[in-house]
Structure 1
Amino acid sequence: MVEQQSDADIDRVFHALADATRRDIVRRTLVSEQSVTQLAAAYAMSFAAVSKHIAVLADARLITKRAEGRVRLVSADPTALARAQDLLRSYEELWRGRIDRLDAILLEDAGVPASLPPSEPTEN
Structure 2
Amino acid sequence: MAFTFLCMAGMFVLLGAETIAAFQVLIYVGAITVLILYGVMFTPQADRPYALFFQKQTPLAGVVVAAAAIPVLLLSFSFVGAVPKPGGDDLPALATSVFVDFAFPFEVASVLLLAAMVGAIVLVKRDEDSEARR
TM-score normalised by L of structure 2: 0.28
TM-score normalised by L of structure 1: 0.30
Higher strand share: 1
